[in-house]
Structure formats: structure tokens, C-alpha cells
Amino acid sequence: MTTNRTFTMIKPDAVENGHIGGILEKITSAGFKIVAMKYTQLSTRDAQEFYAVHSERPFYGELVEFMSRGPIVAAILEKDNAVEDFRALIGATNPAEAAEGTIRKLFASNIAENAVHGSDSDENAAIEGAFHFSGREIF
Ligand code: RTP
Ligand code: MG
């Protein structure tokens, strides 16, 4: 079953700004269990592939460059209703519109450099988790 899991990345801006610890604290305090995690960096090709769904959007080139410019933390998280609850925890895409207390409100810079990724469906959570982790890296 994958329906109680979601996939996240702490994006390069948040890593650069020293927010790995703060973000992981928010995630675990909200009741998410970390079942897989790694410190890694996306190649240009990895970022193009991961965000292929946005390839026709005007911000695609900027997004690929941003997401591949430095290390990220990738993780699979487990909790009841994980996808929806994690999207609520991270807040709106644009941190200026994100609710108080959300991860993007607390740690994000702007709509492009917004600190964290959260899967938008159970299906994508499974695809994105498999993009980064093999079965033996998930606990
Ligand atoms: P994510 O996929 O990273 O969790 O973010 P999201 O669902 O809230 O937003 P989405 O529409 O999927 O956009 C993916 C990422 O693209 C960047 N973006 N830049 N410059 C812009 O107007 C713009 N819009 C989106 C952000 O990094 C966003 O999280
Ligand atoms: Mg998205």
C-alpha cells in the first residue's frame, strides 16, 4: 500500500539557508514518520524528468535550474492521509499566500524558491518516491 505515504524534497534554497533541521522538526512534530531519506543533488536531466509535467509552463527552465543548483533532502513520509495532510503542512505554493505556521510561510523565499516539495496525489507520491529510492532504502 502506498496510500499512507507522500514524497518530499527540502529544496536547494532551504538547504542553502540552513533550514534542514527546522523543516524536519516541523515534519516529525506533525506526526509524519520518515521511512526513507537521503541528501543528494539532482542533475539537470533529473530535474527535467522530475518536473516534466511542467515542461510547457513559462517557469520550467528556471525551475529546473533552481532544483539542480545544489543539494536537496529527499524523503518518503508516512502518516494517515499523508498527501493531503502534508500539502496542508507546507502551505500554498506562493509563501506570501501560505497560512501562518506552514513550512513555506516559515522558511520559503518566494513562489519559485519555496523551500519544500510535496506530492499532489497518491499516484505521484509513489512515482516520485520510486524516482529517488530503491526498495531496500525504504524502511
Ligand atoms: P511542488 O510540486 O514543488 O510541491 O509545488 P506545488 O505543487 O505547490 O506547485 P506546482 O504548481 O507543482 O509548481 C512546482 C514548482 O514550480 C515552481 N514554480 N515557480 N515562477 C513561478 O511562477 C513558479 N510557479 C511555480 C515552484 O518551485 C513550485 O513549487
Ligand atoms: Mg506540484
Q: Which three cell numbers stand for residue 99?
A: 497560512
Euclidean distance between CA atoms 41 and 64, whole angstroms:
12
Report how far ligand 1's centroid is from the alpha carbon of 35 (Å). 24
Measured in Å, residue 51 CA sits from the centre of ligand 1 at 9
Closest of 130, 139, 12 to residue 23, by C-alpha: 12
**Across residues 122-135, what is the average pLDDT?**
97
pTM of the predicted model over 0.95? yes
Tell me the pLDDT tens digit for each residue of 44-88.
Answer: 999 999 999 999 999 999 999 999 999 999 999 999 999 999 999
Superfamily designation of domain 5-137? Nucleoside diphosphate kinase-like domain (3.30.70.141)
Q: Which pLDDT belongs to residue 67?
A: 98
Domain parsing of the chain, residue ranges = 5-137
Give residues whose Cβ lies within 5 Å of ion ligand 2.
120
Q: Decide: 111 in ligand 1 pocket, CB within 6 A.
A: yes
Task: Assess whether pLDDT exceeds 60 at residue 8.
Answer: yes
CA of 88 to the centre of ligand 2 (A): 13
Binding residues for ATP: 11, 59, 87, 93, 104, 114
Residue 3 pLDDT level (bands cut at 50, 70, 90): low
Give the per-residue pLDDT at 114.
Answer: 98
Spatial distance between the Cα atoms of 75 and 77, rounded to a whole number of angstroms: 6
Please tell me the predicted confidence (pLDDT) of residue 1.
44
Q: Summarize pLDDT for 88-117 with one digit per residue, the tens.
A: 999 999 999 999 999 999 999 999 999 999
Q: How confident is the model at residue 2 (pLDDT cuts 50, 70, 90)?
A: very low
Given CA atoms 11, 40, 119, 4 in this order, what sign does their dihedral have? negative
How confident is the model at residue 125, as a pLDDT? Answer: 97
Q: Give the ipTM of the model, two decimals please.
A: 0.96
